[in-house]
């Protein structure tokens, strides 16, 4: 199982960007991370900390504007399936 030294869960984009800008250590950005954590079988020797963006609502969007579709990094498969076409 992945074992980060530290785990952060910012609640806004501003908090996320502040965390990233004010840090010089290595990190992973995850959204929940259950799929990644379940597959890990070897001892973890990776980034210093994880940043879980699953609590940032701004990243859970599906939008269509000016002929472009934006799917946020935090969009769940079920949300994608349930959104009106």
Question: Does 1 reside within a domain?
Answer: no
pLDDT tens digit string along 8-44? Answer: 999 999 999 999 999 999 998 888 766 655 555 665 6
Question: Which domain does 34 fall in, by range?
Answer: 6-82
Question: Does 27 reside within a domain?
Answer: yes
Q: What is d(CA 51, CA 48) in angstroms, rounded to the nearest whole number?
A: 10
pLDDT tens digit string along 35-58? Answer: 655 555 665 667 888 899 999 998
0.95 surpassed by pTM: no
Domain count, the chain: 1
Per 3-state DSSP, what percentage of the chain is helix, strand, and coil (rounded to 5)? 30, 20, 50
Q: What is d(CA 33, CA 25) in angstroms, rounded to the nearest whole number?
A: 20
Question: Does 60 reside within a domain?
Answer: yes
């Amino acid at each position: 199982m992945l074992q980060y030294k530290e785990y952060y869960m910012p609640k806004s984009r501003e908090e996320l960007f502040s965390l990233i800008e004010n840090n010089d250590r290595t990190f992973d950005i995850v959204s929940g991370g259950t799929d990644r954590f379940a597959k890990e079988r070897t001892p973890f020797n990776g980034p210093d900390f994880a940043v879980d963006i699953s609590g940032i609502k701004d990243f859970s969007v599906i939008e269509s504007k000016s002929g472009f579709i934006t799917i946020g990094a935090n969009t769940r498969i079920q949300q994608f399936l349930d959104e009106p076409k």
